[in-house]
């Protein structure tokens, strides 16, 4: 069934195999080309202008990544991203249940409210409330950064988990309740295991959004909460291309690994890719 005849459209353009292969190579090259200088610069000691290959290689980039400042920033990034992912999943589980299992008035409004923050980048929104973070002592703190990062992650988690709840067979919960299990026990031993795949995906993707976030951390962290993207931004601004490239690799690796891990589960779910596109 998956032969030529069952796949019309452009796929059987009638073009010779060679042309098709060439186009594929061009696509792969276009996708990968911008990553080449990143990889090369991260190990380049000296790389004078017209040279296509560095004159000397160095492990300075690696040393820099293992440097105290970078390790501390990695720890801060991890702390914030894990906290944000856990909170977003908890809040998203609750909201997702309402979205997935209930029909109620104002559902469309709720959908809009949960869509807008995923789509609209945070800068315009955060400028207005920064003064409140300052006032309540949340500016320049990890807690403040965690709270502001809930804005893009919670709606996203709620949407993903809402879809998972919509596919949940609530009869399992009813049966557990009938057999005498309390609400919490039912939730922990029946609902959560049933939702586990979606929950893992949501946790990883919200982690990823937080890990990549720059401008919200800058505005609320005020430069005091130093995450990896902040260090990377500073490095890009400096003229040290080796340092910038090494930091860039450190920032890019976890997201790529995570997406490769969850890609299989996300097939056919364009709402899940939505949050990734804004990173």
**Among 69-77, 120-128, 138-146, 188-196, which window interacts with other proteins (CB under 8 A)?**
120-128
Q: How many Å apart are CA 58 and CA 46, to the nearest integer?
A: 8
Q: With binding defined as CB under 8 A, does residue 200 bind other proteins?
A: no
Q: Where are the alpha helices (DSSP H) in 107-170?
A: 107-119, 123-135, 142-166
Q: With binding defined as CB under 8 A, does residue 115 bind other proteins?
A: yes
State the minimum distance, in angstroms, from the CB of residue 101 to other proteins.
8
**Among 71-79, 112-120, 138-146, 187-195, which window interacts with other proteins (CB under 8 A)?**
112-120
Q: How many Å apart are CA 177 and CA 180, to the nearest integer?
A: 5
**Which CB, 79 or 271, lies closer to other proteins?**
271
Q: Which residues pair with 104 in a beta bridge?
A: none
Residues in region 13-72 near other proteins by CB under 8 A: 13-14, 20, 23-24, 27-28, 30-38, 40-41, 49-52
**Which CB, 68 or 277, lies closer to other proteins?**
277
Residues in region 129-168 near other proteins by CB under 8 A: 129, 131-132, 135, 147-148, 150-151, 154-155, 158
Q: What are the tokens at 97?
A: 């249940």
Q: What are the tokens at 32?
A: 């990968």
State the minimum distance, in angstroms, from the CB of residue 119 to other proteins.
5
Residues in region 210-239 near other proteins by CB under 8 A: 211-212, 214-215, 229, 232-233, 236
Question: Strand 44-46 to strand 56-57: parallel, antiparallel, or no bridges (unpaired)?
Answer: antiparallel
Per DSSP, the chain holds a count of helices (H) and strands (E) of 14, 2
DSSP helix/strand/coil, 257: helix
Residue in this structure with the two tokens 């005498």, named with its chain if needed: 180
Q: How many Å apart are CA 262 and CA 59, to the nearest integer?
A: 32
Q: Among 66, 72, 75, 119, which residue interacts with other proteins (rule: CB under 8 A)?
A: 119
């Amino acid at each position: 069934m998956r032969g030529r005849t069952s796949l019309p459209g452009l796929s059987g353009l009638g073009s010779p195999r060679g042309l098709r292969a060439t186009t594929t190579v061009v696509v792969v090259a276009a996708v990968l080309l911008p990553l080449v200088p990143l990889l090369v610069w991260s190990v380049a000691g000296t790389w004078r202008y017209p040279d296509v290959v560095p004159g000397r290689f160095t492990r300075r980039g690696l040393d820099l990544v293992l440097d105290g400042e970078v390790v501390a920033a990695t720890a801060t990034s991890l702390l914030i991203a894990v906290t944000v992912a856990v909170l977003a999943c908890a809040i998203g589980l609750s909201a997702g249940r309402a979205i997935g299992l209930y029909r109620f008035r104002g559902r469309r409004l709720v959908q809009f409210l949960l869509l807008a923050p995923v789509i609209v980048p945070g800068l315009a929104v955060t400028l207005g409330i920064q003064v409140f973070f300052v006032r309540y002592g949340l500016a320049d703190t990890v807690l403040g950064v965690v709270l502001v990062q809930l804005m893009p992650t919670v709606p996203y988690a709620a949407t993903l988990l809402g879809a998972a709840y919509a596919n949940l067979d609530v009869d399992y919960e009813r049966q557990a309740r009938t057999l005498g299990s309390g609400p919490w026990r039912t939730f922990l031993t029946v609902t959560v295991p049933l939702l586990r795949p979606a929950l893992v995906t949501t946790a990883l993707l919200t982690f990823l959004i937080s890990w990549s976030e720059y401008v919200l951390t800058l505005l609320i962290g005020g430069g005091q909460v130093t995450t990896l993207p902040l260090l990377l931004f500073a490095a890009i601004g400096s003229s040290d291309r080796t340092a910038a490239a090494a930091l860039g690799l450190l920032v890019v690796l976890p997201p790529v690994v995570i997406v490769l891990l969850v890609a299989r589960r996300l097939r056919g779910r364009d709402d899940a890719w939505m949050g990734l596109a804004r990173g």
